Every structure is written in C-alpha cells, then in structure tokens.
Chains A and B, each alone.
Chain A
Amino acid sequence: MEIEVSGSTVAEALAGLWRAYPGLRDRILTEQGEVRQHVNVFVGEEDIRYCGGLSAPIKSGSSITIVPAVSGGTDD
C-alpha cells in the first residue's frame, strides 16, 4: 500500500499516516512512542535505527517503508 504524506522527519510523516489510517499507529508504535521491536522502518534503503530513529530527517520525494521483520526461531 502506498500513501503520500508530508513532513520533515519520519515522525511527522508517520503522523500523516496515522491520520489516514488510525488503526496503524498502535500496531507500529508502542504506547511509549517507540517503533515495535520486530517492525522495521526504512527511509530509502536506510533502517531508521541507524540514522536517527523517528527523528530521522526526510526530504521531499523520500520513500518510507514499513516492513515486519522476518523473525523466525521463536520459543514456541
């Protein structure tokens, strides 16, 4: 699914996503406002964990991708 939003940081852009799809916010972020452990957010090809987190800057035309981790080997 693709959607256009505006903002100068990842957090501002995601705020636009939550306004359009309110059900996504609690599924991507914890109640403390942190990206869930097994959810990855990329600006272009950069994982935001390594370029500023939710405060990572974005430019006009940036693409932000939200992907669940492919995490196997659970303890069940």
Chain B
Amino acid sequence: MEPKTFVNPKNGSALLLVGTMKGAFILSSDRDRERWEVSGPHFPGRTVYALAYDGRAGRQRLWAGTSNFFGTLLHSSDDFGRTWTNPDTAPIKFPEDSGQSLKQIWQIIPGREQEPDKMYCGVEPAALFESNDGGQRWSLVRGLFNHPHRAKWEPGGGGMCLHTVLLDPGNAMRMHIAVSTGGVYRTDDGGQSWQSRNQGLTAEFLPDKYPEFGQCVHKVDRHPSRPERLYLQNHGGLFRSDNAGDSWQDIGKGVPSDFGFSMVAHPHDPDTAYIFPLEREMRVGPDGKVRVYRTKNAGGSWEPLGAGMPQQDAYETVLRDGMAADALDPAGIYFGTRSGKLYASRDEGVNWRQILDRVPAITCVKTAAV
C-alpha cells in the first residue's frame, strides 16, 4: 500500500506531519490553511512515533522514526515523501557496551539555526542521541546515559521514553529533556553533564510526593522567545517554570482534569499554552466532550475551546506528541486522536474543524513552514 498522491508544497507552504501506529501522512497547505493536500500512508504498517522537518541550510528534508518487528529505523526524504532512505544499517544504535537495544525513536529535533548540521533524537529506552553531520551518523550522549539517576528511572505505561528535547534558542550549551518516568533534566554545558530540574513537580505514585527525580512528566514545551518559561503536563498536575526549570509552580486550577498527555506553548505569546485534559479512568476528554483548554495568563485560568468539535458522546484521547502549533499569525493549532482524527484551528483555537479522519491511531503531529 503506497501513497497514491504526493504533496507539492511551495516556499511558504504550511506542512503537517502526522505519525500513526501504522504509517505516516503528510499534509500541505498555503498560509491560509483552508485546504490541505494529503499524501500517505507512508511506511504502511510501521509505527511512526517521530517526524520532523529540517529547513536549515537550504534543506527541505523530512525525517521519520519508524518501527516494526524488524526494528527501529530513521529515514529521510528530500522530495516530500516521494522517496525515503532505507538504510542497511540502523542509523541509531546503542553501543554494545551499553547493554541496551533501541525500541522506539520518540523525538527528532533539528538543531539550532546557527548549528545547521546538529540534530538530536530522544529514544526508548530513555536516552539522547546526537548527530553533528545533518543526521548521517549518530552517537549516544553519554553524559546523560551515565547519569546516576538513570538506573532508577522506571517505564511508564508507554515505555521508558525520552520524549521531550528542548533546545534553548539563545544558549547553545543549554537544553532540557524529559523522561517518563524520570523527570526533567537540564544541561548547561552542551550535554556533558545533566542536573535534575523537578523542584515542585509532584509524583503522586511515590511515597515522597516531591522527589528529586522520578516524576512521570508527560510533556514539556518552552516559549521560543522567552526560553526560561516552560509549561509542563505531568501525570497529574500542570506546572509552569519561569527560571528554566529551577522551580515549578502549580497551574492546574480551573481544568476539568489535571491529567493529560500533551502541552503546547503558543509560538508568539509566552502567557498562552494549550492542553487536552483527559479524565483519569478512561483517559478521554471529560464528559464526552472534545475540548482543548487554553490559558492566556500563564496558567492563572483556563478556558475550554470546542467550537466545531463534538460536545457529547465523544471519547477521544490525544497522546503526548499529538498536539502542535504552527508559527504563523494567527497561530494554527492542531491535534490528532487515538481514533484517527486530525483537528485544526486557524484562529488560535477558537474554531475547529476536522481535516483528516479514518487514519490509524495518531501518535504525533508536527508542523513546519517550507
């Protein structure tokens, strides 16, 4: 089963990259984001947890992390999915002395603009890999792998995953990662050493409710122009940091549930962020409603956004990488569900419409501008 059509983005086109449990889909539109071309399924039958677009240094390169019974691979495409690399040797492999074997690629992150050949991957079992040649060769970031806490990290329901990689855009030595279950870690020396950054984050399932590490952090996002501001969706709890993770404040009041997986910071307004609350038993949107919640005052209050989406008898789940924002103005907000629907808003979440349906369970949604 190969794609029947392919997208034809032009400079300035908006891209949506949608990973699912059984393949990936690529959507393209003009800046108006009214009509979307769709191509797929790419990698039919393979689980796609991670997708990315690298537009640095004149590239127009897509990346995909895929897996099936025959292992986990990293692929790239320079023609918007018409052809993909199919490497003989798995590009990302744990060293033999690590005793670990790659299970999933959870995150593919092109580096900063000023480091056009730098890339990072967050993987399962939780580890960070980096590339210095645009993704051709990869090496384990041993400074994190050898952290003394790692032996006490535990798998969450989705596996022991390093699911969040956040680069400080203004400080090449600083980045954050997050692990379920392990917590948030930060490096200030380019990855050689890492410190836990979990003060104030709860671990309701541990005897010590505020441990140094071990929290089941579901997702962290940072505001691009105020990088010390981070928003965090925890396994129980919503938090904000204004000091790059040195401390976290509870911002979980006024939501129908403080449980959820995804967290997206607004691309332009540092006081705005989006979540998809899930009730704890079924892990679906509360009350049978499909609603995103938005804060516009840095978590002081939250408002439900559901116009255009079902508000009764609808039981939808959005996974931790299933929501994204584009960087256009007004910002587009997107999320994909485990039931295979993709919703989009062109006005920052006020109005929504479904732009994709009947695809396999959606695992990740990424945006890009060509």
- Give me the interface of A with B, judged by CB distance under 8 Å: 22-23, 25-28, 30-34, 36-39, 68-69, 71, 74, 76
* Cα distance, A34 to B21, chains bound together (Å): 25
CB distance from B262 to the nearest CB of A (A): 18
Q: Is the interface of A mostly helix, strand, loop or mixed?
A: loop
Given contacts A31-B96, A32-B99, A69-B69, 10 further A-B contacts (CB under 8 A): A23-B87, A31-B93, A31-B100, A31-B102, A32-B96, A32-B100, A33-B96, A36-B69, A39-B70, A76-B21
Contact B69 A32 (CB under 8 A): no
Contact A34 B101 (CB under 8 A): yes
Contact of B88 among A23, A28, A74 (CB under 8 A): A23
Q: Is the interface of B mostly helix, strand, loop or mixed?
A: loop
Contact A26 B89 (CB under 8 A): yes
Contact A31 B89 (CB under 8 A): no
Contact A30 B101 (CB under 8 A): yes
* Cα distance, A35 to B69, chains bound together (Å): 11
* Cα distance, A32 to B93, chains bound together (Å): 9
Contact B70 A27 (CB under 8 A): yes
Residue of A nearest to B88 (CB): A23
Task: Please tell me the number of chain B residues within 8 Å of chain A, measured between CB atoms.
Answer: 21
- Chain B residue contacts of A33, Cβ below 8 A: 96
Interface centre among A25, A31, A69 (most CB of B within 10 A): A31
* Cα distance, A28 to B70, chains bound together (Å): 6
* Cα distance, A38 to B70, chains bound together (Å): 8
Residue of A nearest to B69 (CB): A38
Given A76-B22, A76-B360, A76-B361, check contact A31 B90 (CB 8 Å): yes
* Those 9 A-B pairs whose CB atoms lie nearest each other, nearest first: A23-B88, A76-B21, A30-B101, A38-B69, A27-B70, A26-B90, A31-B93, A22-B88, A68-B69
Residue of B nearest to A37 (CB): B69
- Chain A residue contacts of B87, Cβ below 8 A: 23
- Chain A residue contacts of B86, Cβ below 8 A: 23
- Chain B residue contacts of A25, Cβ below 8 A: 89
* Cα distance, A74 to B46, chains bound together (Å): 12
26 of the cross-chain contacts (CB-CB < 8 Å) are: A22-B88, A22-B89, A23-B87, A23-B88, A26-B88, A27-B71, A30-B71, A31-B90, A31-B93, A31-B95, A31-B96, A31-B102, A32-B96, A32-B99, A32-B101, A33-B96, A36-B71, A37-B69, A38-B69, A39-B69, A68-B69, A69-B69, A71-B69, A74-B21, A76-B21, A76-B360
